[in-house]
Structure 1
């Protein structure tokens, strides 16, 4: 319990710092004037485009889950929406755990395996965000050493993570042997079996990385997803009295979404707004207009999917207690059988020298 409140406190503190950096020196009355004069009819097409992107996310997740189970998109879409709602109302992207929890409950897919596919999603999202930054910079150069540092650091992290996942997917037996060797030497006996069970299920979820065609489809879908989200940025821009190039919005999209990987208060308060305002200001947009635009964009990204997520949550007969248990328990314990097939594609069976909990 104490660690939960500590994590929340750290997130709120980071959000507060970003909010302070974004709003210092601003005349809030000018921001209010910009908000009042905006043409909010442009939010209608922006929301429609955003839900196209959410549908594309659903298709991508279906592709990642196919080695485990084929799930109709109509059943998978509500799970994705509830997960993003969870990200918006809980700190530390807890909606990802919620997605895995619901998929296990409704479809019988191992939560550890589905979580692996969600981690792969995030890695590809990060790589595409970095691609957007690199593509946009020649057309919309940004004189900021801080952002260049973030891009270099992010490139190293996401590329490193992808290489590690590739290695685990290609040689799962070696990874499991290494995990078992470390567990036997570093963990007490009562924790070894749950950890090894989790690792086995997680590796199974990386099976999608062994298919070259699947990888290409996942990458192309990720590009489509984030292009659609940038189109949303473009529509919302038309509600305000400024214009920047589409490439500048691509760069803004990449920077703010990289920033939201930092711990923050629920809803990415501050970590989305501060970098977004800073990027637009560097392109010469009036700070008050940049603030009004970024706050409106944030609300247009947050509110529709959160409301739809609440609707699907009620329709699925999920209560707040279920969500709290999914977030707090994470994947420490897991019920349900391992999906057919072990990480290397053979029939799943516990190793003879250890007992695997199911």
Structure 2
């Protein structure tokens, strides 16, 4: 609560919500929410949890060079990470699940965080692919469609492309040429850091590099990529099921575009749970497809809730069954992070 990043996130979320909702009628949004056929949420939640299980399999696959951990063991840890992302700012759930994995399985935090970062890079690449596959659809988006017009989305897509594809290339090169990367790390540490920080930082960095071993083979990288595509197609399936709870219809490709754009937008700092940064682009995009603004707002708010509550409750359940043992075997210093 005392950190400026927290308040900045709240401010950004408030601005996004104001810009998209100030021209809509709350009574009509509430009417759309009340009249929704909520039975459609059940298959949507089921498909979403299947996607989370595939995420657990992907993480298990990436961690094999470090330790072979069954997918059924990884699933609760992934759910806890979702919970952390939904209730804490700055995607703190990613660090939380790395700490949980160290606590329960003894995997070094710096190494598991490397796999988490690689996951997020692949997620970003697939989100961009969803947008690129539907570039022709971006012509529908105009400045009148909400807070995000066509130009803004193209700018986000271009910026995201440079960020995610650049990061992916850097990680692939680091994984394929580990000796060269290790020499570069040692050179940078010895040249730029004070003597008292060098060994601790070197240990963390080298442990981090071990988490990239799953990218050394092109086949392994392709497996991770196609698994990521499956994950996001399953999540788009949830968008499709929830859509049937409301009185409008757009194509599955339009929902792929929506999925890509809203998830790229959630990389912007915001309040916990991506309030505003998820909702505003979703409402804007559906409005561009001719969906009435109040209907689009009702759908997006219900979809956001259906994405937030079930996995957060499941993550909390798994966490409370075996809470993190703070201060005992978990990280208390940078040196311990490398162990």
Give, in whole Å, the separation in 2 of the partners of 1:266 and 1:171. Answer: 38
Maintained 8 Å contact 2:54/2:227:
yes
TM-score, normalised via structure 2 length: 0.93
Give, in whole Å, the separation in 2 of the partners of 1:276 and 1:165. Answer: 31
Question: How far apart are 1:270 and its partner, in Å?
Answer: 0.6
Maintained 8 Å contact 2:279/2:300:
yes
Relative to structure 1, the CA distance from residue 301 to residue 262 in structure 2 (aligned partners, 3 Å threshold; closer, same or farther) is: same
1:168 and 2:174 correspond: yes
Q: Which residue of 2 aligns with 1:185?
A: 191
Maintained 8 Å contact 1:128/1:222:
yes
1:239 and 2:245 correspond: yes
Maintained 8 Å contact 2:100/2:324:
no
1:7 and 2:8 correspond: no
1:204 and 2:210 correspond: yes
Q: Which residue of 2 aligns with 1:80?
A: 78
1:89 and 2:91 correspond: no
Q: Which residue of 2 aligns with 1:120?
A: 118
Selected match of 1:51 from 45, 49, 52: 49
Selected match of 1:35 from 33, 38, 41: 33
Q: Which residue of 2 aligns with 1:334?
A: 336
Maintained 8 Å contact 1:18/1:271:
yes
Show the 5 A alignment for 1:127-146.
127-138=125-136, 141-143=139-141, 144-146=150-152
Give, in whole Å, the separation in 2 of the partners of 1:259 and 1:35. Answer: 24
The 3-state SS of whatever aligns with 1:264 is: coil
Give the CA RMSD over aligned residues: 1.8
TM-score, normalised via structure 1 length: 0.88
The 3-state SS of whatever aligns with 2:130 is: helix
Selected match of 1:289 from 286, 292, 295: 295
1:268 and 2:268 correspond: no
Question: How far apart are 1:18 and its partner, in Å?
Answer: 1.0
Maintained 8 Å contact 1:140/1:247:
no
Deviates more, 1:104-113 or 1:132-141: 132-141
- In the alignment, structure 2 segments of 5+ residues that lack a partner are 142-149
Partner deviation per Cα, 1:89-143 (whole Å, 9 max, x = no partner): 0001000001110111111111111100010100100010011111123367433
- In the alignment, structure 1 segments of 5+ residues that lack a partner are 339-357
Give, in whole Å, the separation in 2 of the partners of 1:192 and 1:278. Answer: 49
Maintained 8 Å contact 2:87/2:272:
yes
Q: Which residue of 1 aligns with 2:313?
A: 307
Q: Which residue of 1 aligns with 2:106?
A: 108
Deviates more, 1:205-214 or 1:174-183: 174-183
Give, in whole Å, the separation in 1 of the partners of 2:140 and 2:209. Answer: 40
Partner deviation per Cα, 1:188-218 (whole Å, 9 max, x = no partner): 2222122111110110000011012211111
Partner deviation per Cα, 1:287-339 (whole Å, 9 max, x = no partner): 000000000000000000000001000111337x67xx87xx7x83425xx7x
Maintained 8 Å contact 1:67/1:208:
yes
Partner deviation per Cα, 1:161-194 (whole Å, 9 max, x = no partner): 0011011112222222222222223222222122
